[in-house]
Amino acid sequence: MPTLFSRAFVPSARDNEDSERLRRRLGAKSWEYLRGNERLQSAFKDRVVSELGVRWPPSTSDVFVHGDMRDVLDSVTLFASVLGSYGDRRAQFGWLEFCERAMREEGMKYQVQADGSVGYFVDSEFQGAADDAVAALNVPRFTAASAAIASAVRELNRLDGSPKAAIRETYAAVETAFKVAVDSSVTLGASDVEKRLVPAIDRLFANADPVARGAAAQVAQAMKDWVNAAHKYRHGHEHADPIEPSRELAITLVGLGITFARFIGDHFKVETPALVLTPASHQNAK
């Protein structure tokens, strides 16, 4: 099948937890197998109702179109199981192959495994940490940083996503958080972490116990190394062909960057004229 215009030129959906397009595609594809096959329809209905405890909709394909997203994902697995139980391995493979392709084309955060189970495209730990960071930073001061992290993760979840672009978006998230919390007049570099973030952290943890002070200082030092590593992919390279990092390296750099962005966001939530402090730090300073 030739490449569709929308696959080549139209950006993926921004919300990759749910997608009406994906739902309609799954419903239409499932009906290709179910149409005229009452035995298969009945088996699928029984499996969905018994395993998920949902009300059966007027139309079989509505399981995918109108169900809760958790039920949609489970139904992908259950329908594959039903196809397999009837010995139609070719149809089962075709269904799973279509579902995986559709999820990549619609920019979803999920992927379909060979056994029919559905999981997160990267892994549950990475996705959970990213979601938590996006939520934690989704406050007025750090909204832009939160959006950049979400964009980086979407880039990793896309079928044609760029690992380099994911790293760049993560760098933007950390730099934005750094500027908001510490110094808006500079771009983020390792020397800026040393000159501006390290002293701010020292002041922030001045009344903390020695172990906490030492740990926080080591986080700042680790951030300097991350900035140097990620900075290699921030700008263009002196080569004719694009240089893309491996997806595995991108996941590592993005994951570390998310950690540093959240560290800044968690500890520099509230600004005072002299120093940026978290509520807990205000209490310690009294």
Express each pLDDT in 113-134 by its tens digit. 889 999 877 776 788 888 888 8
Q: In the structure encoding, which two tokens stand for residue 55, read together?
A: 């009300």
Q: Is residue 3 part of a domain?
A: no
Residues 102 and 145 in one domain: no
DSSP code for 193 = I
Q: Are residues 112 and 133 in the same domain?
A: no
Say if residue 57's pLDDT is above 60: yes
Does 103 share its domain with 17? Answer: yes
Instruction: Say if residue 130 is in the same domain as residue 112.
Output: no
Whether residue 130 is found in the same domain as residue 218: yes
- pLDDT(87) > 70: no
Last residue of a domain, one of 89, 120, 151: 120
Indicate the number of domains in the chain: 2
Question: Does 112 lie in the same domain as 26?
Answer: yes
- Decide if 257 contacts 169 (C-beta within 8 A): no
Give tens-digit pLDDT for 30-46.
999 999 999 999 999 99
Shared domain check, 47 and 180: no
Mean pLDDT value across the chain: 84
Round to whole Å and give the CA distance between 206 and 49: 58
Backbone angles phi, psi at 263, to 5 degrees: -60, -45
Considering the domain architecture, whether residues 141 and 248 belong to the same structural domain is answered as yes
Residues 145 and 264 in one domain: yes
Domain encompassing residue 280: 124-285
- Asked whether residue 130 falls in the same domain as residue 205, the answer is yes
pTM over 0.85: no
| Separation CA 50–CA 244 (nearest Å) | 46
113 & 250 share domain: no
